[in-house]
Chain A
Amino acid sequence: MFRSKRMAALVAAVALSLTGCSAAGSSSQDAASQTLTLGAIQSPKTFDASQSEFANLSPFYQAVYDTLIRMQPDGTLVPMLATEWKYNDDKTVLTLKLRDDVKFTDGTAFNADAAKKNLERFKAGTSPDAQFLAALKTATAVDATTLELTLSAPDPAFLNYLSKDASFMQSPASFANADIATNPVGSGPYILDTAATVTGTSYAYKRNPDYWAKDLQHYDNLVLNVYLDQTSLLNAIKSGTLNGANTIDNNTLTEIEAAGYKVNPLALNWSGLILFDRAGTTNPALKDVRVRQALNYAFDTKALLQSIGQGHGEQTAQVFPPSSDAYDKALDSRYAYDPAKAKALLAEAGYASGLTLSLPSSTLLGTTIPALITQQLKDVGITAEFTDTGNNFIADLLAPKYGVSYMILEQQSDWQLINMKLTPGAPWNPYNYEDPKVDELVNKIHLGSVDEQKAAAKELNKYIVEQAWFAPWFRPQSSYVTDAKTNVEVQTGNAYPFIWSFTPAS
């Protein structure tokens, strides 16, 4: 069996194949100069538009599905499948005029009836964003190009939602397809190449030859690669495999820049503490606004920004983003680090001898953040007791099981943010805390004129900061990196740039 000659031949063959492949051609993907290859950190669960998601998953869907309204990078809304739209006087009926020259890739014509069916399906579907259409009472196709949407109550964010997953338009003829989850039929700029796609890993798209808006198609091919492991994402960037990618944190920006990439910063989130239990249900101390304010004074946010965010970001004490009407720059420094003041406030509130807070920890958080929180609170006489939540961190917060927790939350547009964090029914207000003053201001934002809305939003933000519903630390900088061949405009309020915001660098 093991004749020496044969063995030598084998060894030689192995050695040859090892050395030979370095000289072999490069991968098939950069054959065409007009291929855009992007890295993502999540893969879509399904291409069924009624279960679609947004944020990090937006490019997967935007490539194949158009929306009724298109949002530009600065947040302005412009026509897409809808050419114009108008509210009635009390903002409960929205009438949209639709294009008449759009076809889905299976040949079905896009019209008001198709739009109506998609909206109704999304509202009844299992998308995590299904509540975007909670206000939608009825959708009526008045004629082929007129869609009338009746709302149960005005929704200031409704038009915004129509530029996101809530209005992804899928061919109604494909709703019953067995492969709906893996073979999307839309009218978008690209068509998913199912043969070249490895679900969960790499998604290949080809240009849609019949697309109605050539000015939104900048590439012949699009490839979206998913990296579940930070190291592999970083290696893919550094080896020049990707034209653009998200970055998981700011620790690697220097390395990435050294590899010839440009960093496009965007502010998306705020991180810090949420003081959930404002009524003192689980911990009576939290009911006292002075205790909540003390928790704001207790943290050296400048040092925290350096140690946790590597200095990439801005200190803040408010949850509304700089792009919002509610934002007030002065509030960013409302609670400058002052442990003495924190101690004094605690003493005033009757906790001179200290107080104990119960907080959740998780592998998601790592060990640094709980250690820093423990140290900073100890300095003002508060004992932090951390409990490991395993994989149930978010579920335990929303249950609710904890009065206070560290969290990173998105800074959405005003109405979305209010309904995510501030109203009694908001998911991130799990104790359903209610404050008449907040209710009154939210009501003004809901039903008032544009000027009234702006004024009320400013007042609401100030009130929330004064009442210390949260103890924000900073707005961490998120970064989208692009290579020298690619330009991109980052998207206000979205983790991933929109698919038509990528252009080849001339």
Chain B
Amino acid sequence: MYRFVLRRLFSGVLLLFVITTVAYLLLYAGGGDIARRIVGPTASDAQVALKASQLGLDRPLLVQYWDWLSNAVTGDLGRSWFNGQLVSTGVTGRVSVTLSLVIGATIIAAVISVVLGVLAAVRRGWVDRVAQFVGVLGHAIPGFLIALGLVSLFALNLKLFKATGYVPITTSFGGWAATVTLPIIALSIGCIAAIVQQVRGSLIDALRQDYVRTLRARGLSFNRVVYKHVLRNAGGPALAVLAVQFIGLLGGAVIVEQIFALPGLGQITVTATGQGDIPVVMGVVVATAAIVVTVNLIIDLAQGWLNPKVRLS
């Protein structure tokens, strides 16, 4: 068990190193004249040179990269080139917002899609058709359109929620809920669509297995068979889909955060990438990669708990 976790952690660190190196080189190659972009098109060449030397952009690429990496290892991710803020402050302050959305959407999606998926697989009939319909609809309508619809209905017309902005959960839970509910719903709909299909499919497969007939023949109630044995078997693939969805939600959050003007990672990523603010983008890359590695580790452990066969691999 410990060796398994350690191995996964080690490969996670290695992955982090490869991702950050590639990202740094790519960003640098596509950066163009960053100092010029910071001081603006009408600045003099002397001002551009001054800015470049202030930020150390006049040094060779490898020296700059090594400088970034050796500081990053000690937890110092530097300062934004465009607003002077410490990257660690900027990123950690925003991770909580994005994670609020993504974790919230994942939980809601998991609960709703398991309920819907189980009902659809066990009951079939009209429930199944509703679940199928929800699945297709959630896939067909893009997330940003759902978000816009939610804003105009619940925030602008009914005034139930905030249309824009964010209140930290530490300031007021009610305020936080009022600002994140709509974005979470917008994010979770597409997610539900994907997982419902997966849960329904693997349950229907599992229900056809021989052991279900055997258990029923031994007099176990249908519900007991489903909840104690079948779900456990069908849970693995559903969890894998959930993990993929969670990582996909990190991307989906970018658009939703823009629409609701939420100060999350998405907003900072869009701005920083557009500007060529390499220290900030690198900070986001590190944070995102760390989140993804952690989530995958948790999913692996959960799958091992659900299915002893996985633990050996």
Residues of A that sit less than 8 Å from B by CB: 1-4, 7, 10-11, 14, 17-18, 20-28, 43-48, 126, 128, 130-131, 180-182, 198-202, 225, 227-229, 231-233, 235-236, 238-239, 241, 394-395, 398, 427
Q: Which residue of chain A has the shortest Cβ distance to B84 in the bound complex?
A: A181
Q: How far does the alpha carbon of A398 sit from the alpha carbon of B43 in the complex, in Å?
A: 11
Contact status B83-A46, CB under 8 Å: yes
Contact status A181-B83, CB under 8 Å: yes
Contact status B263-A2, CB under 8 Å: no
Q: Using a CB-CB cutoff of 8 Å, which residues 59-114 of chain B contact chain A?
A: 79-80, 82-86, 89-90, 93-94, 107-108, 111-112, 114
Which B residues touch A20, using CB under 8 A? 177
Which A residues touch B80, using CB under 8 A? 199
B21 within 8 Å of A by Cβ?
Answer: no
B115, B155, B263: the one contacting A235 at CB < 8 Å is: B155
Q: How far does the alpha carbon of A199 sit from the alpha carbon of B80 in the complex, in Å?
A: 11
Q: Using a CB-CB cutoff of 8 Å, which residues 30-59 of chain B contact chain A?
A: 36, 38-44, 47, 50-51, 54
Q: How far does the alpha carbon of A252 sit from the alpha carbon of B138 in the complex, in Å?
A: 30
Q: How far does the alpha carbon of A182 sit from the alpha carbon of B88 in the complex, in Å?
A: 14
Instruction: Encode B237-271 as 1/0 by CB contact (under 8 A) with A.
Output: 00000000000000000000011110100011011
Contact status B231-A236, CB under 8 Å: no
Which B residues touch A46, using CB under 8 A? 83-84
Q: Which residue of chain A has the shortest Cβ distance to B180 in the bound complex?
A: A21
Q: Which residue of chain B has the shortest Cβ distance to A398 in the bound complex?
A: B41
B165 within 8 Å of A by Cβ?
Answer: yes
Contact status B260-A28, CB under 8 Å: no
Q: How far does the alpha carbon of A4 sit from the alpha carbon of B226 in the complex, in Å?
A: 11
Q: How many residues belonging to B are interface residues under a CB distance threshold of 8 Å?
A: 66
Which of A3, A130, A231 has the most chain B CB within a 10 Å cutoff? A231
Instruction: Encode B7-38 as 1/0 by CB contact (under 8 A) with A.
Output: 00000000000000000000000000000101
Shortest C-beta distance, B302 to chain A (Å), equals 10
Q: Which residue of chain B has the shortest Cβ distance to A201 in the bound complex?
A: B263
Contact status B173-A24, CB under 8 Å: yes
Contact status A182-B107, CB under 8 Å: no
Contact status A239-B79, CB under 8 Å: no
**Stretch from B156-164, B208-216, B285-293 contacting the other chain:** B156-164
Q: How far does the alpha carbon of A393 sit from the alpha carbon of B171 in the complex, in Å?
A: 44
Q: How far does the alpha carbon of A4 sit from the alpha carbon of B84 in the complex, in Å?
A: 53
Q: Evaluate whether A14 and B231 lie within 8 angstroms (CB atoms) in the complex, with A4-B223, A232-B164 already known.
A: no
B227 within 8 Å of A by Cβ?
Answer: yes
Q: How far does the alpha carbon of A182 sit from the alpha carbon of B171 in the complex, in Å?
A: 22
Shortest C-beta distance, B110 to chain A (Å), equals 9
Contact status A126-B84, CB under 8 Å: no
Contact status A7-B114, CB under 8 Å: yes
Shortest C-beta distance, A15 to chain B (Å), equals 10
Which A residues touch B227, using CB under 8 A? 2-4
Residues of B that sit less than 8 Å from A by CB: 36, 38-44, 47, 50-51, 54, 79-80, 82-86, 89-90, 93-94, 107-108, 111-112, 114-115, 118, 148, 151, 155-156, 159-165, 167, 171-175, 177-179, 181, 223, 227, 231-232, 235, 258-261, 263, 267-268, 270-271, 306
Give 13 A-B contacts (CB < 8 Å), ordered by A residue: A22-B178, A24-B174, A45-B84, A182-B84, A200-B85, A229-B258, A232-B164, A235-B155, A236-B164, A238-B156, A239-B163, A394-B41, A398-B41
Q: Which residue of chain B has the shortest Cβ distance to A7 in the bound complex?
A: B115
**Beyond A14-B108, A28-B172, A200-B83, 20 additional pairs, beta carbon < 8 A:** A2-B118, A26-B175, A28-B167, A45-B38, A126-B47, A126-B50, A199-B90, A200-B267, A201-B261, A202-B165, A227-B261, A231-B258, A231-B259, A235-B155, A235-B156, A239-B155, A239-B159, A239-B163, A241-B163, A394-B41
Q: How far does the alpha carbon of A202 sit from the alpha carbon of B177 in the complex, in Å?
A: 19
Q: Which residue of chain A has the shortest Cβ distance to B306 in the bound complex?
A: A1
Q: Which residue of chain A has the shortest Cβ distance to B181 in the bound complex?
A: A21
Q: How far does the alpha carbon of A106 sit from the alpha carbon of B94 in the complex, in Å?
A: 29
Which B residues touch A45, using CB under 8 A? 38, 82-84
Q: How far does the alpha carbon of A216 sit from the alpha carbon of B43 in the complex, in Å?
A: 33
Contact status B83-A128, CB under 8 Å: no
Q: Which residue of chain B has the shortest Cβ distance to A22 in the bound complex?
A: B160
Q: Which residue of chain B has the shortest Cβ distance to A228 in the bound complex?
A: B271
B93, B171, B174, B231: the one contacting A21 at CB < 8 Å is: B174
Contact status A27-B83, CB under 8 Å: no
Which A residues touch B174, using CB under 8 A? 21, 23-25
